[in-house]
A and B are shown apart, each in its own frame.
Chain A
Amino acid sequence: MPKIRAAAVSFLNARPLTAGLAGSERIDLTLCEPSAGAAMLERGEVDLALLPVGALAGKDYEVVPGIGIGADGPVQTVLLAGEQSPVVWDEVFLDTASRTSVILSRVVLAEMGRSPKFTPMPAVEGLAAATGTKGALVIGDRAFDVHKPHVLDLAREWNRISGLPMVFAVWAARPGVLAPEDVAELARAAHQGQGMRTELAREFARERGGDPEKYRRYLTQKLRYGLGPYEVSGMEAFLARAAKLGFLPEHTLRFADDQVKARRARRVVSLDTALQKGADGERLDADEAELVDEQAPLLELGLAADARRRALHPEGVVTYIVSRNVNYTNVCTTACHFCAFYRPRGHAQSYVLSRQELAEKIEGTIAVGGIEILLQGGLHPDLGIEWYEDLFRWAKASYPTINLHALSPEEIWHIARTSQLSLEETIDRLVASGLDSIPGGGAEVLDDEVRRRIAPLKCSTDEWLTVMKVAHRKGLRSTATLMFGVGEDARHRTNHLLRLRELQDETRGFTAFACWTFQPENTRLDPGDNSAHAYLRENAIARLVLDNVPNLQCSWVTMGGGVAQAALHMGANDFGQVMIEENVVSAAGTTFKMDSEEVERHIRDAGFRPARRNMRYEIVGA
């Protein structure tokens, strides 16, 4: 397959986006002068270029989502400099044809009521000539060396004017050339490059002199490489203002993922066919799954998922388990943006449960017919594997009948790291001390694009799946979950389900899947679509896509009994837990409560026969 031809400048600020492309199998990068990239793209000599934002205006280029070079405050490398204040300038010298910086200068100067003449002049001469009523525009690495009495940092000025960040450059492609894999490759390179910033700063200092620490601060503190909604707003505001002042034609941004999605959707046979396939238990491919997520109306999804549920569970039985969620500690070091439960170590509200407290909770559970303890906690930096081994041995010795459903993959990683053990060894030791099965929590959305945004310190998709794979191989069973409604899109949710399905093909270790929506109260993250409607749709989609996971749990705890009953008619066959205790979701504002009588009433009223089960979905006596 021919590579995508790309061009980018060699400026320091671009290196975190380009360094990771060295040796890329998909993208062939050429370094060029700032003004050359736009021209090469225009002439078709390259397919993709790191373009100044102003160069997008009037073109049909597709912007690569999520990646950009910008600043939300001073940037240091786009400056107006002169002997006098810019308010007296009548002429500005500039050393390149960077239209974006010229336009930014004009926007900023217009705000001061100035509209000086812009005259091209080589940089060194331009700066020397910037005396009296003359100024100079200096961009790029040369700006590090500017020493003039009056210096205006244009990113800071823009921020002051608009309240928004300034985006200088983005990856832009000729329409129709990028595949989703190319977008992913650029994202991967950007991620890798941002991890190399210290190194890149050092390398740059070796090349041209100067303080590597200053360059490092520039790359890590002045520049932003993300292109989220906030940055896109900044870009749109800049383009709109420049158009209003007559410096640029009006422009509406086009993003590669929109276009890529539209192209992908056309490849799929049809929505009806995809739904019918799902209903009949045929495997949906990625395009079909994503199309169904994007377009299928709720009831069509529900009908298809209900048909599938009837095939998998024709008896009309809906199961539930009586168990208790015990959160052994709320101390956690990951600080996920969507979490309202965690406290830092040493916080007045932080805790680690004592044996006595645990004993009371387990005995209380057994007293009301509970057969399982769901033991999860934060990532406590002081708890090593011995603490867990002791705990499990004690619990199993004291309460041999209780199923110990404990430790999400995140916690298992954490224990392995804290105790400097391999994953295999960690799991072996936990199983030997009494671990019976693993909950599927902490999966959130198994797509690193989303994870990096909402839970940057959490384990990656691969890490989460690796724990599950190793655990399944050792005979442990687990559940799988999805927490969505965090501003992700159909592509991310589809990736999540497909990654689970792939692992399940290999291990058959997942007994059930459950999804729920993000509950935003007391957290720092703004919700995406976390509505009941979205929940019911995703529940049905999961039933269609996860053709190899036997059971689907509905989530009355987050959605309430009525929505959960509707979910039973749209794919779900399990009513989850009668919970004796729950702390995490309720910290985020959800308050639905039901005892087993009420759970059974809901199941019966919806037309099913209730039955209690264990973690392996075997029916147990009431």
Chain B
Amino acid sequence: MLSNLAHRALERAGLGPIRDKVLAKERLAEEDAVRLFEVRDLAAVGALANHVREERHGNLAFYNRNVHLNPTNVCVASCKFCSFARPDDREASEGYTFGLDEAVEKVLSRRPLGVSEVHIVCGLHPTLPWEYYTELLRRIRAAWPEVALKAFTAVEIHFFARKFGKSYEQVLRELRAAGLDTMPGGGAEIFAKRVRRKICDDKATAEEWLEVHRTAHRLGIKTNATMLYGTIETLAERVDHMARLRALQDETGGFQVFIPLAFHPEHNMIGKAFPKPTGYDGLRTYAVSRLFLDNFDHLKAYWVSLGERMAQTALSFGVDDVDGTVLEERIYHMAGSHVPQGQTESSFHRLIRLAGRVPAERDSLYHVLKVHEA
């Protein structure tokens, strides 16, 4: 139940009508979301988002045990916000591509740590053959049948379709046959054309990104959705992004979680022009997305990007998922993230518990594996 203090604050902020909609479980309009962003009343908006979060998930905070694999950083796209991509495999350009044996070995070495999910994202490599990707999944799947494989963003699926002359459906069916379980939500950035043209002109468009996910959902593949905030987008463009995700979710119900990601400015082409979004911007983005995305079950704060302190704080602003133990993260670390590589499960539990929540380990499909009561 929303407290009197929250009611008073929301009314003072002129958010009474929006509150009424939320409490009546009515859908918020795009202008409501823009208003929630603009009001800069973090405690009031946060309290409303927290109310929704606790209605859905009580006191649980989800995490999983995962390992990241980035088999190559060579990428033909030239996204201006990226610090990870390199133009080719030459040592001078710091490009790398793991051989299949090496990639599989890296993943399998993590098996003793109780990992339940492997997260695989690649650069758009100009010359790797189709078999590299299917074989990668097949070999991991054969050696480690029970692990969940969450692999390839919509941008990679689109790239594979173009490069290897297949439909999205064909690509996805072949990957699934090789072992793919779910898909990560990366590459969405901001859907608005104006923004995409400026920051990631040469990769999958919004429509293509959404079509890949639509196809995956139709095939029964659950996926995630992300939003890269803090570059040149306006608040209305953020809301438009979320509105398009909400519409597709109405159609398919295939998204598991929404993950806002903060732009990190170090070592990329636009870092000088745009400072890193502040933590405040992150917290209000979580809160607004929790309120606006009424058909998404989960909202994730990616601690590798945020830092542990902000990830913990986000658990009071609508977030119910703090991602995983994340071994071997590369993409954000190359953009200046200083958080330690990998979290032990006990430090994860501590972070969650000290936020007044109860840690719940989940699998890739958000089934609860174990609730760690104190």
Contact = CB atoms under 8 A, between A and B. Distances in A.
B56 interface: no
Closest 8 A/B residue pairs (Cβ)? A562-B279, A607-B40, A532-B309, A569-B42, A565-B280, A531-B354, A303-B5, A302-B43
A302 B309 CA distance: 17
B354 A569 contact: no
Interface string A527-564: 00101111010000000000000000000000111111
30 contacts: A272-B3, A275-B3, A275-B5, A297-B316, A300-B6, A302-B47, A306-B43, A531-B351, A531-B355, A532-B308, A533-B312, A533-B313, A533-B354, A560-B309, A562-B283, A562-B306, A562-B307, A563-B279, A563-B309, A565-B278, A565-B280, A566-B313, A569-B41, A569-B42, A601-B275, A602-B278, A605-B281, A606-B40, A607-B41, A607-B280
B310 A560 contact: yes
A184 interface: no
B279 A560 contact: yes
Interface in B25-73: 40-44, 46-47, 50
Given A565-B279, A601-B278, A606-B278, A533 B40 contact: no
Contacts of A286: none
B309 A531 contact: yes
A515 to B, nearest CB: 15
B4 A276 contact: yes
Interface string B1-38: 00111101100000000000000000000000000000
Contact of B278 (A306, A532, A605): A605
Given A565-B278, A605-B278, 17 more contacts: A275-B3, A279-B5, A299-B43, A299-B50, A300-B47, A303-B3, A303-B8, A303-B47, A532-B310, A560-B309, A562-B278, A562-B280, A564-B279, A601-B278, A605-B280, A606-B40, A606-B42
B313 A276 contact: no
Given A297-B356, A531-B309, A533-B312, A303 B278 contact: no
Most A CB atoms within 10 A — which of B3, B4, B41, B356?
A: B3
Interface in B308-337: 308-310, 312-313, 315-316
Interface of A: 272, 275-276, 279, 297-300, 302-304, 306-307, 529, 531-534, 536, 559-566, 569-570, 591, 598, 601-602, 605-607
Contacts of A598: 275
B282 interface: yes
Q: Is the interface of A mostly helix, strand, loop or mixed?
A: helix
Contacts of A561: 278-279
Contacts of B351: 531
B207 to A, nearest CB: 32
Contacts of B310: 532, 560, 562-563
A559 B8 CA distance: 29
B313 A536 contact: yes
A307 B354 CA distance: 25
Nearest to B262: A562
Nearest to A608: B40
B307 to A, nearest CB: 7
Contacts of A307: 5, 8-9
Interface residues of B, number: 35
A532 B313 contact: yes
Contact of A298 (B275, B282, B306, B316): B316
A218 to B, nearest CB: 41
B122 to A, nearest CB: 31
Nearest to B40: A607
A279 B4 CA distance: 11
Most A CB atoms within 10 A — which of B306, B313, B356?
A: B313
A513 B310 CA distance: 23
Nearest to A537: B356
A311 to B, nearest CB: 12
Nearest to A529: B354
A278 to B, nearest CB: 10
A297 B307 CA distance: 22
B284 to A, nearest CB: 9
B91 to A, nearest CB: 32
B317 to A, nearest CB: 8
Most A CB atoms within 10 A — which of B275, B279, B282, B307?
A: B279
Contacts of A302: 42-43, 46-47
Contact of B46 (A299, A564, A565, A606): A299
A272 B281 CA distance: 29
Most B CB atoms within 10 A — which of A302, A562, A598, A606?
A: A562
A531 B312 contact: yes
Given A303-B43, A533-B356, A606-B280, A559 B50 contact: no
A31 B196 CA distance: 84
B337 to A, nearest CB: 13
Contacts of B47: 299-300, 302-303
Contacts of B309: 531-532, 559-560, 562-563
Interface in B328-374: 338, 351, 354-356
Contacts of A569: 41-43, 46, 280
A562 B313 contact: yes
A517 B307 CA distance: 17
A418 to B, nearest CB: 40
Nearest to A528: B354
Most B CB atoms within 10 A — which of A300, A303, A561?
A: A303
Nearest to B48: A299
Contact of B280 (A279, A300, A533, A566): A566
Contacts of A559: 309
B320 to A, nearest CB: 15
A531 B352 CA distance: 10
Contacts of B315: 533
Contacts of B308: 532
Contacts of B40: 606-607
A318 to B, nearest CB: 12
Contact of B313 (A304, A563, A601): A563
A591 B3 CA distance: 37
A566 B279 CA distance: 8
A85 B83 CA distance: 73
Contacts of B307: 560, 562
A299 B48 CA distance: 10
A534 B316 CA distance: 12
Most A CB atoms within 10 A — which of B50, B278, B308, B315?
A: B278
A307 B44 CA distance: 10
Contacts of A299: 6, 43, 46-47, 50, 316
A566 B42 contact: yes
A565 B282 CA distance: 11
Most B CB atoms within 10 A — which of A275, A304, A560, A564?
A: A560
Most A CB atoms within 10 A — which of B5, B42, B275, B338?
A: B5
Contacts of B3: 272, 275, 300, 303
A562 B9 contact: no
A414 to B, nearest CB: 34
Contacts of B355: 298, 531, 533
Contacts of B338: 591
B280 A303 contact: no
A343 B40 CA distance: 46
B357 to A, nearest CB: 9
B133 to A, nearest CB: 37
A453 B147 CA distance: 48
Contacts of B306: 562
Contacts of A306: 9, 43-44
